[in-house]
Amino acid sequence: MVEEINPQSSFIIRSFPVGPFQCNCSIIGDSLTKRALVIDPGGNPELILATLIELQLSVVGIIHTHAHLDHILAAGKIKLATGAPIFLHRQDKFLWDMLEQQCAMMSVAYVPVPEPDHFLNDDDDLLCCGGVAIHTPGHSPGSMSFWFEQYQTLVAGDTLFQGSIGRTDLPGGDINVITKSIKERIYSLDDSALVITGHGPSTQIGIEKNYNNFVRV
């Protein structure tokens, strides 16, 4: 779990594993404005909602790094409870529409999700904590990362992991595209930046540039 509540800053990060494949769901918020984003609610909606209550935050967006089932299964319940809109990159809409098939393939209980309210584009303002969307395709065509420059924090989804990168053998995956995304879009950010990954422990950009097993510069 990643947790950062700094009394010298209004920035809040709470990242914790949820759902059938332990996707890292992240709550990123501002203690002054009380605005927050829920990123990749892949399951355990009660835990996500309880954490929002604990942190006294109001959700302004439910945003997704991509549309694989383990990153979206609780989106509908979070929207129902908070009224917040759902965001996704348009190029992953085909995966969103395939959720029932994805669940059947992975023997996971199917939970319907509503249609996305808005489609994210590269460089979109996330309207909370100065966040910006970065299109980082390769794991899926619409994979996104979310950059909070002021706080030196990147939510990378399944594009970059500690010592590894996202799978490219799933529909829409491409090893050359993910390599380009990592080298040109992620490794161009500050070396000291925290990277919250889609699964497993967090890392730093500079560490991955030097030691990642698949993409180094």
CA distance 176 to 123: 22
| Residue 9 pLDDT level (bands cut at 50, 70, 90) | confident
pLDDT in tens, 143-167: 999 999 999 999 999 999 999 999 9
Q: Is 76 exposed, middle or buried, given 0-12, 13-18 or 19+ CB atoms closer than 10 A?
A: middle
Whether residue 217 lies inside any domain: the answer is: no
Number of domains in the chain: 1
Instruction: Quote the domain boundaries for residue 97.
Output: 2-211
Whether residue 23 lies inside any domain: the answer is: yes
Whether residue 216 lies inside any domain: the answer is: no
pLDDT in tens, 109-147: 999 999 999 999 999 999 999 999 999 999 999 999 999
- Mapped onto helix, strand or coil, the DSSP state of residue 148 is strand
CA distance 156 to 160: 6
| Residue 12 pLDDT level (bands cut at 50, 70, 90) | very high
CATH code of residue 174: 3.60.15.10
| Residue 64 pLDDT level (bands cut at 50, 70, 90) | very high
Alpha helices in the chain (DSSP H): 45-55, 75-82, 93-97, 99-106, 175-181, 205-211
Over residues 29-54, the mean pLDDT reads 98
